[in-house]
Amino acid sequence: MVATLQALRPPRAMRWVLRWRWITFAAVIAGLALGYVYFPWGLIGSVISLVFAYYSWGIAKHRGRIVGEGSEGEALVAKVLDNLPMEARVLHSIQFESGDKPRELDHLLITHNTMFVIETKYLRGRIVGDVMDREWTLHKRAHKTRSRYKRGFYNPLKQVATQIYHLHSHLEANLPERWAHECSQIWIQGVVVFAHPQGDSSAVVNHEHGVVALENLPQYLANYRPPSRASRLSYGLRREIARVLTGH
């Protein structure tokens, strides 16, 4: 059975939601104070502060909805990973620094022969795109008007490839020399999981490149075979990787 070494945590993006909520609160207080203390000359400043508070609250709501939907998708994938009938270790919501920037992985599954970096996409609508495209396209309907529209989003295969590069660099820089050398020989496979029940990812699902729908994730992981040149992950290396990424 899978050993869950780290549970889901709030994503890094949630910090900005909280910041915008605090900005809204501060703007409301400032607006009320200006109107009360400097009445009537402070009314203009009071109105400006309250208008800004309305604007910032809209940003907080919008970002909060996006983060909330993303967290819901990650929870669905985490539930599947935590209950896989295989010997492996799984970590969720991994955060580390690499390339002078904060990095975040949705899930990391460590088996005896492969390490999977798993990116969750929770998108309602029809997704189209090609492996080599810079952007994929989401076709959907608006909630209120039901009108059709589309928007582009960065190719998640390129996103997960960048994550793998920085994960490898972080591990080789922080593992003891013995384990860092062994880590350089292992295979890291990127996986993009489309998890929304109302999403249609049939046009982009490609098991050869690691793009799967949530319902097929267990089968994909169970049947995956790394390239023959890849080294196995020893018990010690799996333990050390978990230690570096979790801090214990």
- The CATH number, out of the four listed (3.40.50.150, 3.40.50.700, 3.40.1350.10, 3.40.50.2000), of the domain defined by the range 2-246: 3.40.1350.10
| pTM check: above 0.85 | no
Compute the CA torsion angle 82, 105, 64, 78 (nearest 10 deg). -10
Q: What is the pLDDT of residue 209?
A: 94
Backbone torsions φ then ψ of 147, nearest 5 degrees: -75, 150
For 19, 62, 149, 198, the CA distances from 145, given in Å and listed in that order, are 31, 18, 11, 18
Which of the residues in the chain have pLDDT under 70?
Answer: 1-17, 20, 36, 38-42, 60-70, 142-146
Structural domain boundaries of the chain?
2-246
User: What are the tens digits of pLDDT across the range 206-229?
Assistant: 999 999 999 999 999 999 999 988
User: What are the tens digits of pLDDT across the range 74-89?
Assistant: 888 999 999 998 888 9
